[in-house]
Amino acid sequence: MASETNLMYIDGQWQEADSGKHFEVMNPATGDVVGTAPAGSWSEARRAIVAANRAFPAWAALTAKERANSLLHVGYEMQARKEQLARLITLECGKPLAEAEAEVLYAAEFVTWSAEEAKRVGGETIPASAPNKRILVLRQPIGVVAAITPWNFPAAMITRKVAPALAAGCTVVVKPAEQTPLTAMALFRLFEEAGLPAGVANLVTGDAQEIGKEFLGNPQVRKISFTGSTEVGKLLMRGAADQVKRLALELGGHAPFIVFDDADLDRAVDGLIACKFRNAGQTCICANRVYVQEPIFNTFAAKLAEKVRALKLGNGLEPGVHIGPLIDDAALTKVRAHVDDAVRKGARCLCGGRPRTEGELGKGHFFEPTVLSNVNAEMRIAGEETFGPVAPLFSFRSEEEVLAKANATTYGLAAYFYTRDAARLFRVMERLEYGIVGANDHAPAVPQAPFGGYKESGLGREGGRFGVEEYLEIKNVSIAL
Ligand code: NAP
């Protein structure tokens, strides 16, 4: 595919970087350049913040219905252009086309849901402490929101922030990941087409550290919403302290996936495959530690390995491909290091276990879908986020033991368990220290439900009314009559 030059969107204008420089966007399946993006820095970020701040009062003053109408246009257009947007996602992020199409629909639903939900933002009256007093509680948009997003869901991670922020009456400046700016640009063309006033939604690409510093240091930015690694999340949290800037952090995870001996094994195997191997294991909520109860361990492992062996690795644009490439060389090196470390320490590789270095796949960053057994807590894979297509299997004896192991991590994003015992379902669900729990369900993330983590997996929630509330300040008005 011929490469194309794309631009940033600031104050209603498509713009080059001030330096005139660009960076290249690669297809992780082939190593080909699929486009370029402007190498922006703090100065473009500052211009975008000024524009967003200027646009804020008029945008906030519109009725929720007026804001919703613009957003609904964007949501419906995303649905109508599903194939086109999905192709772009596959080209720059690598996930199979069917997954990319599902992401576009998921991303569009954040837009339509938030547009509708913001119409229901209301205040309260509270009984006062004196007969001549009245207390009103107002909910008002925070102001300019800066959003920083990762590459693994190039569309959904943007709409999950931008849609509720705009619907609530905030204005936004978005910095997408350097690997996936093209999908972001395509989304911003839809914001432009929807007729959003200049400055309401801005897109800046380029140097993450410089742009991030401007977001942190500029007092006109009232909130930063970040999705990405826990490491960068902590940097932002430290930086935000100076201005006590509002933060929403959607960070890393290390999800336990527990299969009890009373579970429907076929359902658990299929659930694990869908949860673990989606986007080649590069999702924050994918299973990282698979705990299988001893009596069913061997049967479960054999069923799983047989199905995983049948998964087709390849370029996501080709029909029938289940697993695409990893995003880049660093990702491939990390996954390989985790598998090698586990095998060196005694893990057994039931299938996969190698990067593909020959033929067409050798041009991309492909790692075979892998199942490891005999995994223990001493291995890197047991504590670090692998972000790759590797399912490590641990065995356990009792419910008490597995709950202690599942919770023994600094992460707390998603957890899954499979059981047919109703009492156990409630006990386990209540004791898992995670923000998202799938009970016999591998796909708990939907636009209307809260998404976010306990512990070092983050702060705040996205999705549904919880997502809209993140962009509202609460004002107590006390009136003496
Ligand atoms: P990352 O390295 O933290 O990058 C995420 C974003 O932060 C990118 O836009 C990146 O820009 C930017 N960034 C990097 N350094 C920065 C800095 N010093 N200041 C400001 N911005 C900075 O994460 P990633 O590797 O792309 O994404 C994978 C991680 O995201 C995993 O840990 C995954 O679990 C997590 N994740 C979490 C969720 C969730 O909802 N909890 C969802 C998806 C992913 P550049 O790309 O330009 O460097």
pLDDT per residue as tens digits for the range 65-87: 999 999 999 999 999 999 999 99
pLDDT tens by residue, 325-353: 999 999 999 999 999 999 999 999 999 99
Which atom belonging to ligand 1 lies closest to the Cα atom of 211? 20
Burial class (CB in 10 A: 0-12, 13-18, 19+), 135: middle
Q: Whole-number mean pLDDT of the chain?
A: 97
pLDDT of the residue at 137: 98
Mind listing the pLDDT tens digit for each residue in 426-473?
999 999 999 999 999 999 999 999 999 999 999 999 999 999 999 999
273 burial (CB, 10 Å; 0-12 / 13-18 / 19+) is: buried
Q: Which atom of ligand 1 is nearest to the CA of 284?
A: 34
Q: What percentage of the chain carries pLDDT values higher than 90?
A: 99
Mean pLDDT, to the nearest integer, of 108-122? Answer: 96
Radius of gyration of the chain (CA): 23
Residue 375 has pLDDT above 90, yes or no: yes
Nearest CA to ligand 1 atom 20: 212
- Which residue has a Cα nearest atom 41 of ligand 1? 250
- Tell me which of 8, 95, 152 to substitute to probe ligand 1's pocket, judged by most ligand atoms within 8 Å of the beta carbon: 152
State the distance from the centre of ligand 1 to the C-alpha of 152, rounded, in angstroms. Answer: 9
Residue partners of 427: CB distance under 8 A and separation at least 6: 399
pLDDT of residue 1: 41
pLDDT of 3 > 80? The answer is no
Angle 80-83-89 (CA atoms, 0-180°, nearest 5)? 120
- For residue 167, pLDDT over 70 is answered with yes
Relative to the CA of 148, which ligand 1 atom is closest?
9
* pLDDT for position 2: 41
Residue 47 pLDDT greater than 90, yes or no: yes
Q: Which of 275, 284, 286, 351 is catalytic?
A: 284
Name the residue ranges covered by the structural domains of the chain.
4-251+457-480, 255-445
Query: What's the pLDDT at 5?
Result: 66
pLDDT digits (tens, 9 = 90+) for 116-131: 999 999 999 999 999 9
pLDDT at 50 over 80: yes
What are the pLDDT digits (tens) for 382-393? 999 999 999 999
Nearest atom of ligand 1 to the alpha carbon of 151: 26
Which residue from 42, 148, 249, 457 has its CB within 8 A of the most atoms of ligand 1, so it is best to mutate?
A: 148
| CA 149 – ligand 1 centroid, Å | 6
Q: How far is the CA of 283 from the centre of ligand 1 (A)?
A: 12
Give the burial class of 189: count Cβ atoms within 10 A of its Cβ; 0-12 exposed, 13-18 middle, 19 or more buried.
middle
pLDDT value for 4: 55
Q: Strands across the sheet with 370-373, in order?
A: 348-351, 370-373, 390-396, 287-293, 255-259, 414-418, 436-439
CATH number for the domain running over 4-251+457-480: 3.40.605.10
Which of these is catalytic: 250, 385, 456, 462?
Answer: 250
On the question of pLDDT at 193 being above 50, the answer is yes
**284 in catalytic set:** yes
The residue whose CA is least distant from atom 28 of ligand 1 is 228
CATH number (3.40.47.10, 3.10.310.30, 3.30.2350.10, 3.40.309.10) of 255-445 reads 3.40.309.10
- Would residue 349 show up in a list of annotated catalytic residues for this protein? no
> Which atom of ligand 1 is closest in space to residue 232's alpha carbon?
3
* Rounded distance from Cα 138 to ligand 1 centre (Å): 34
- Please name the residue that has the structure tokens 């498509």: 14
Pocket of ligand 1 (CB under 6 A): 148-152, 157, 175, 177-178, 208-209, 212, 227-229, 232, 235, 250-253, 284, 385, 413, 453, 458
pLDDT of residue 263: 98
Asked whether 118 and 467 are in contact (CB, 8 A), the reply is no
- pTM for the complete prediction? 0.97
345 CA distance to ligand 1 middle (Å): 30
Ligand 1: centre distance to CA 284 (Å): 11
pLDDT tens-digit map of 412-422: 999 999 999 99
Smallest CA separation from ligand 1 atom 17, residue: 209
Which residue's C-alpha comes closest to atom 4 of ligand 1?
Answer: 228
118 CA distance to ligand 1 centroid (A)? Answer: 27
Pick the atom of ligand 1 nearest to 239's CA.
19
